[in-house]
Structure 1
Amino acid sequence: MEIITLIENHPGRDKRLAFEHGFSLYIDTGTSKILFDTGQSGDFVENAWYLGVDLSQLTHIVLSHGHYDHSGGLMPLLKAVDITAPLYYGKGYFRGKYRGKLDEDGRARNPRFIGNGFTKEQLVAAGATLMEVDFPVRTIAPNLYLFQHFPLVQGYEPLDQRFRLEDGSVDSFGDEIALGIGTPSGLILISGCAHRGIVNMVSAAIAAVEMPLRGIIGGTHLIHCSPDRLDATITALSALHPQFMAVSHCTGEDNLERLRTAFGESFIMNVTGNRMRL
């Protein structure tokens, strides 16, 4: 199995590759070829070409949640490549999503649109085959799972009150899905941003498939989190003994260094162009 980071916030060694605030991952299991998220722009498409990835051969496309930095490259992809793979998204994905600044009374002021730049109808018109996900766990191929509806169990992983829907309510990220890959040594969990909490998500996923955790790849949304939350997260994830922690994107630079220290040789800085052979 090979996992390639097509685009991410950080540049890699290959200076031909664009990087941006966003996330896109390619997974080749040997029998399935999955695209997980599409970054902020269409730059990941050219990166894929440089990295030797043929996006026309995709078997599945998974969209983690409806934020621009994970979905912005979808329409450029559909225009550039003849895509026949089904596109999986969580129920609520097409709702209007915003982020504001919290004032003293907890209200989100001056909300800025950060959702998708397209509608469901535009995707269909562009030739996409849409598959809505609305289950705690769904098997999409042998040893490939989509997880959703993660219970908010950990008190230190509350919903971020800055994120709102078009009606002004707090975004609970019910559309958020994660990809799981079952292997003989455990589950690999791939997260876009983990808005519902990385510990909540990992715990629900490994319980659903009754596997130990092998590793985590992707965003954790620990950026701007409190020191207490980071400490609790490290304690909880360390107790699961992951073989690797390949995180980045919305984790935060200082927090990445803390995770590097905590997980030692198991930590992988997952930058643009990174390849993992597992």
Structure 2
Amino acid sequence: MELTALVDNTRLADRPDLTVERGLSLHVKTQGRQLLFDAGSSQIFCDNAALLNIDLQAVDAAVISHRHHDHCNGITHFLDRNTAAPVYFRACDEAEYSFRAFGFKSNVGIAKDLLERAGERVKFVNQMTEILPDVFVVTELSHKYTQPKGNQYLFTDAGQGRKPDTFDHELMLIVKEADGLVVFTGCAHHGVLNMVETAVTLFPNTRIKAVVGGFHLVGLPLLNGIGGTPKDIEAIGRTLLEYPIDKLYTGHCTGMKAFGLLKGGLGERLEHLPTGRHVVI
């Protein structure tokens, strides 16, 4: 597998030509297919793709991890550049999504007209679905571990009053290659440990070559704090070591403070994935 970060909160130091935003978009080449996983919040990932010599028209399928703007709103620009690939969302009831803390409120949800504009290109899934050979969208996620504490600031409003977001709009992507799995987390609002647990349950006794994406271990993003205590983050790292995972590539909502805490326990298994980075897994 070849993996390229089209957009993330940060970029490679030697690529000042690339643009960053608080969002996530990844390009994947696997087994003769190309995938787009998440699309940031604007056309920035498309602009970066051109600078990275990636042809978005060649993408066979796009997968959106959840309905927050920084992962899905850029998909309209993808549809302008790719005339055929389906775009997969998890099926869920319509809702508004917000971030709320200390009296501050911000809309963090999907653009209201996005799905209508996308039309028949959008495919909704409500169960594990093999969208391409050995490429699986998974909607039923484990609840074995607690969810990230940063979720406490995220809410939905579906017309029946404000409620904590249960993330019934979140999915994960699993690619099964001959030598193991690659697990894509998006923001891992269900918790990276729950996503890994889901993968090992679905594919027992199978090596996980890599876990890729954000882990939502940030607390208040503007302060770059951590969700919980340092001991909480370190405990997540120790538990990850109990699973058959070779590498973890992360950025975005993990937060750099939490990344440092995880790095202390995971060492070389954990790597940062800024905009522009290309890795072979």
Q: TM-score normalized by structure 2?
A: 0.89
Contact 2:37 2:64 (C-alpha < 8 Å) held by counterparts: yes
**Alpha-carbon distance between aligned partners in 2 of 1:189 and 1:61, rounded to the nearest angstrom:** 15
Tell me the equivalent position of 1:237. Answer: 240
Question: Which digits, 9 at most, give the CA deviation of each residue in 1:230-251, with x for residues without a partner?
Answer: 1221111111142111111101
CA offsets, 1:180-232, max 9 Å, x none?
11123321111110001110111012211222322111100011222232122
**In the alignment, residue 173 of structure 1 is paired with which amino acid?**
F
Q: What amino acid maps onto 1:253 in structure 2?
A: M
Unaligned segments of structure 2, at least 5 residues: 219-225
Q: Cα 1:78–1:184, aligned 2, differ >3 Å: closer, same or farther?
A: closer
The 3 A distance-change label for structure 1 pair 82 and 234 is closer
In the alignment, the residues of structure 2 paired with residue 41 and residue 262 of structure 1 have an alpha-carbon distance, to the nearest angstrom, of: 35
Alpha carbons 2:147, 2:190 under 8 Å: kept: no
1:269 to 268, 272, 280: 272
CA distance in 2, matches of 1:113, 1:157: 20
Distance between the aligned counterparts of 2:147 and 2:168, measured in 1? 19
Deviates further, 251-260 or 92-101: 92-101
RMSD: 1.8
Q: How far apart, in 2, do the equivalents of 1:72 and 1:61 lie?
A: 13
Question: Who is 1:218 aligned against?
Answer: 213
The equivalent residue for 1:164 is 155
What is the number of equivalent residue pairs in this alignment? 267
Report if the CA contact (8 A) 1:66-1:94 is conserved. no
Contact 2:58 2:82 in 1 (8 A): no
TM-score (norm 1): 0.90
- 2:42 aligned partner, one-letter code: S
Task: Give the match's secondary structure for 1:239.
Answer: coil
When residues 155 and 22 of structure 1 are mapped into structure 2, their CA distance, relative to the original with a 3 A threshold, is closer
SS class of match (2:54): coil
Runs of 4+ in 1 over 6 A off after TM superposition: none
Unmatched 5+ residue regions in structure 1? 103-108
Please give the residue correspondences for 1:127-276 in structure 2 after superposition, counting only pairs within 5 Å: 129-135=121-127, 137-155=128-146, 157=148, 160-166=151-157, 167-210=161-204, 211-223=206-218, 224-226=226-228, 227-276=230-279
